[in-house]
């Protein structure tokens, strides 16, 4: 680095010198030409044939030019000019002279010329290891400082620099060597009044104090300290210190105390940091667990709400489906009833038409019979007349034969009249009996179908109620199951003490589920009973209708009125007879039908007994689980 600076300074000086040499060469060339011309003017007239006057004039110009050329040559050879970064100090014959931004004649033998460098020079001072600065606290400081100095640009400064450094006034290294002790002394003096830490924290103050101390010392050398720059400042490595040195020993002691205290403080800071980190991690973990717990609660609540909504929707769908089924069943029943009523009306109309046809046929037959009888009477009358005519011929025989014939005719007429009336009465009776049988059969069929339709309607209503109860029980069960799922999912984030509460909730959910199942089974039992009752009612109604029809078909009844009159009579007859007597009569009249009714009643009774047994088992199981749950809750946990 120093060599590079010296090279740059030397090049700058050479450039300044080269400029001066160029100007000198120009002047010398011009002066040489002028001298040559002057000599030609002096010598030339002697070889030319000119007048004396011209010859003297030319010689005068030649001598003048020779003098001027000599002066110019002297100036070119002896005149020295300064550059912008160089000043001269001339000594010798006459008064010493300082040349700044100008020039002067320097006669080699008479004068002596000293160059003084006016550029800013950087003098770097480095003190490390054993040579490091000793501070106020006896600690050593490795330091690297740059001093930027220059010669004061005036006659006093240049003269003092030339006097102090002589020919070395243009060599920064030589100047550094001569000023080194002053610079180091100033550094050490200022360092002794400041601690190492203070020195490091107040570098500008340290540099200013050094600058003030050095400026006074180098001012007598014609130098100005522009600035002081600290390139590096650090504590000296303890390995480079001597334990037998008082200052180093004191510095080592303080350094050890400071470093150990710093280690303790650093260790405390690190431990506090670890503690704070651990505490922060614990708090973060707590917050995370709390967030997870809230998330679990929220998810459980959401699932419970979703389950409730799904159950409500399923309930609404089931209710709507049941209502639709009820409407469809009602419409089907109404349709069947309408069809049956239409069939009944059609059959009644057909029966009436058939009765009218039979009546017309009977009337026609009676008319034919009467006509036949009348024809026979006419024939008999003709025969009587013929007999009377013949009797006139046979008077003797006519009296007896006529009397006998009259007796026979009267007897036959009486028999014919009696037979005719009897046939008419029998025909009327048969037509009325056929009409009554048809009405009875139609009324019995209508009554049977009406009872079956009513039984189907009751069964559909009971089945709809059972489905509604089943849907409600399923809703309750799903709600309880959702609550159970929520309780199960909350378990991982709950403390151990909440396990008992979760078990109790699980038992409650199971109890509610069993109760719902019990309710469903009760509804199913009621449905089976109603079905059995309906089946028995259907069988009883059909058989009762058949029995009434058979009973009424065995006798001869004349019913006046419409089919509704016969239906009212049958209903009053059945209500007056009583269900017990009807069943007894059916059982006596039809053992197979009585057996079927008994079997239906036994099936209903068995269903009731099974439902009762199942309800008792479910109740016992629930009671046992509750007792078991209470026992587990009362038993303290074993560590």
Burial class of residue 280 in the structure, from the number of CB atoms within 10 Å of its CB (0-12 exposed, 13-18 middle, 19+ buried): exposed
In the predicted model, what is the mean pLDDT of the chain?
71
Classify the C-alpha dihedral 41-43-49-50 as positive or negative.
positive
| Beta-sheet pairing, 86-92 with 97-99 | antiparallel
Q: Check whether residue 353 and residue 438 sit in a common domain.
A: yes
Q: How far is CA 359 from CA 21, 515, 566, in A?
A: 174, 70, 22
Cα angle 620, 623, 624 (rounded to 5 degrees) comes to: 85
Q: Check whether residue 515 and residue 622 sit in a common domain.
A: yes
Higher pLDDT, 226 or 573: 226
Give me the residues paired with residue 143 across strands.
127, 233
- State residue 474's pLDDT score: 63
Q: Which of 241, 268, 289 is the last residue of a domain?
A: 241
The H or E element that residue 296 is part of is helix 246-393
Q: Check whether residue 376 and residue 517 sit in a common domain.
A: yes
Tell me how many domains the chain contains. 3
Would residue 262 count as lying in a domain? no
The token duo for 129 is 């290891």
Q: Check whether residue 162 and residue 227 sit in a common domain.
A: yes
Residue 146 has φ and ψ, to the nearest 5°, of: -110, 125
Q: Check whether residue 158 and residue 55 sit in a common domain.
A: no
Place of tokens 């049958």: 570
Least confident of 254-258, 294-298, 302-306: 254-258
Q: Check whether residue 192 and residue 289 sit in a common domain.
A: no
Q: What is the DSSP string of 442-498?
A: HHHHHHHHHHHHHHHHHHHHHHHHHHHHHHHHHHHHHHHHHHHHHHHHHGGGS-GGG
Alpha carbon distance 169, 149 (integer Å)? 12
- State residue 126's pLDDT score: 92
Q: Check whether residue 216 and residue 327 sit in a common domain.
A: no
- State residue 245's pLDDT score: 76
Maximum mean pLDDT: which of 136-150, 395-409, 551-565: 136-150
Would residue 189 count as lying in a domain? yes
Least confident of 374-378, 441-445, 510-514, 594-598: 594-598
The token duo for 35 is 């001298």
Q: Is the per-residue pLDDT at 551 higher than 70?
A: no
Residue 79 has φ and ψ, to the nearest 5°, of: -85, 130
Cα angle 199, 201, 202 (rounded to 5 degrees) comes to: 65
Would residue 93 count as lying in a domain? no
Would residue 247 count as lying in a domain? no
Q: Is the per-residue pLDDT at 620 higher than 70?
A: no
CATH of the domain at 180: 3.30.479.30
Q: Check whether residue 150 and residue 76 sit in a common domain.
A: no
What is the pLDDT averaged over residues 288-310?
88
- State residue 575's pLDDT score: 56
Maximum mean pLDDT: which of 153-167, 582-596, 610-624: 153-167
Alpha carbon distance 395, 417 (integer Å)? 32
- State residue 440's pLDDT score: 60
- State residue 3's pLDDT score: 41
Would residue 255 count as lying in a domain? no
Q: Check whether residue 18 and residue 150 sit in a common domain.
A: no
Q: Check whether residue 370 and residue 424 sit in a common domain.
A: yes
- State residue 451's pLDDT score: 63
Q: Check whether residue 308 and residue 236 sit in a common domain.
A: no
Would residue 106 count as lying in a domain? no
What is the pLDDT averaged over residues 133-145?
87
User: Crossing angle for the helix pair 579-589 and 591-634, nearest 10 degrees?
Assistant: 120
Alpha carbon distance 9, 117 (integer Å)? 9
Q: How confident is the model at residue 347 (pLDDT cuts 50, 70, 90)?
A: confident
Q: Which domain holds residue 555?
A: 281-634
Q: Check whether residue 310 and residue 449 sit in a common domain.
A: yes
- State residue 582's pLDDT score: 47
Tell me the Ramachandran region of residue 225: left when phi exceeds 0, alpha when psi lies from -120 to 50, beta otherwise: beta
Predicted TM-score of the model (pTM): 0.37
Q: Is the per-residue pLDDT at 42 higher than 90?
A: no
Q: Is the per-residue pLDDT at 566 higher than 60?
A: no
- For residues 338-373, one letter each, b for 16 or more C-beta atoms within 10 angstroms of the residue's C-beta and e for the rest, the string is eebeeebeebbeebeeebeebeeebeeeeeebeeee
Would residue 91 count as lying in a domain? no
Would residue 627 count as lying in a domain? yes
Higher pLDDT, 149 or 137: 149
- State residue 195's pLDDT score: 87
Q: Which of 185, 210, 241 is the last residue of a domain?
A: 241
Least confident of 123-132, 329-338, 528-537, 625-634: 625-634
Q: How confident is the model at residue 622 (pLDDT cuts 50, 70, 90)?
A: very low
């Amino acid at each position: 680095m120093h060599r590079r600076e010296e090279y740059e300074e030397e090049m700058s000086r050479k450039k300044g010198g080269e400029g001066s040499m160029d100007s000198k060469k120009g002047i010398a060339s011009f002066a040489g030409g002028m001298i040559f011309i002057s000599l030609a003017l002096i010598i030339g007239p002697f070889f030319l044939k000119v007048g004396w006057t011209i010859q003297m004039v030319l010689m005068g110009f030649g001598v003048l030019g020779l003098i001027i050329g000599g002066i110019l040559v002297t100036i070119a050879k002896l005149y020295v000019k300064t550059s912008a970064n160089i000043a001269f100090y001339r000594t010798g014959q006459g008064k010493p002279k300082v040349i700044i931004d100008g020039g002067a004649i320097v006669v080699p033998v008479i004068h002596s010329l000293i160059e003084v460098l006016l550029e800013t020079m950087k003098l770097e001072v480095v003190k490390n290891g054993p040579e490091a600065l000793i501070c106020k606290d006896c600690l050593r400081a490795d330091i690297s400082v740059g001093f930027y100095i220059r010669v004061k640009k005036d006659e006093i400064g240049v003269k003092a620099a030339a006097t102090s450094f002589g020919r070395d006034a243009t060599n920064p290294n030589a100047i550094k060597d001569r000023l080194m002790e002053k610079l180091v002394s100033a550094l050490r003096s200022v360092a002794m009044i400041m601690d190492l830490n203070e020195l490091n924290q107040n570098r500008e103050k340290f540099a200013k104090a050094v600058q003030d101390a050095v400026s006074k010392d180098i001012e007598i050398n014609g130098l100005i300290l522009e600035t002081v720059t600290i390139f590096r400042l650090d504590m000296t490595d303890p390995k480079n210190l001597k334990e037998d040195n008082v200052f180093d020993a004191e510095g080592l002691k303080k350094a050890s105390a400071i470093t150990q205290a710093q280690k303790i403080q650093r260790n405390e800071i690190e431990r506090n940091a670890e503690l704070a980190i651990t505490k922060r991690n614990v708090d973060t973990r707590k917050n995370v667990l709390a967030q997870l717990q809230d998330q679990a609660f929220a998810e459980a609540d959401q699932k419970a709400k979703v389950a409730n909504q799904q159950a409500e929707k399923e309930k609404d769908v089931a209710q709507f489906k049941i209502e639709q089924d009820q409407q469809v069943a009602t419409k089907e029943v109404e349709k069947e009833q309408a069809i049956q009523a239409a069939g009944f009306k059609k059959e009644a109309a057909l029966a009436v038409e058939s009765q009218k046809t039979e009546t017309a046929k009977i009337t026609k037959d009676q008319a034919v019979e009467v006509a036949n009888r009348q024809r026979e009477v006419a024939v008999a009358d003709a025969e009587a007349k013929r007999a009377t005519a013949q009797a006139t011929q046979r008077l003797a025989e006519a009296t007896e034969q006529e009397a006998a014939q009259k007796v026979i005719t009267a007897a036959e007429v009486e028999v014919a009249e009696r037979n005719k009336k009897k046939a008419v009465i029998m025909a009327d009776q048969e037509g009325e009996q056929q009409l009554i049988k048809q009405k009875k059969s139609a009324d019995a069929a209508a009554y049977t179908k009406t009872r079956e339709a009513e039984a189907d309607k009751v069964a559909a209503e009971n089945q709809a109620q059972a489905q509604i109860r089943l849907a409600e029980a399923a809703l309750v069960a799903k709600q309880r199951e959702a609550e159970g799922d929520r309780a199960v999912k909350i378990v991982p984030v709950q403390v151990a003490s909440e396990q008992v509460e979760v078990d109790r909730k699980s038992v409650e959910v199971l109890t509610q589920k069993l109760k719902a199942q019990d309710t469903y089974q009760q509804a199913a039992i009621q449905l089976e009973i109603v079905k059995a009752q309906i089946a028995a009612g259907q069988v009883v109604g059909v058989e009762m209708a058949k029995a009434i029809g058979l009973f009424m078909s065995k006798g001869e009844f004349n019913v006046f009125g419409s089919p509704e009159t016969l239906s009212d009579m049958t209903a009053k007859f059945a209500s007056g007879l009583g269900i017990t007597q009807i069943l007894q009569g059916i059982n006596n009249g039809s053992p197979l039908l009585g057996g079927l009714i008994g079997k239906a009643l036994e099936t209903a009774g068995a269903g009731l007994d099974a439902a009762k047994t199942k309800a008792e088992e479910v109740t016992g199981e629930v009671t046992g689980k509750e007792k078991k749950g209470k026992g587990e809750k009362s038993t303290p946990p074993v560590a």
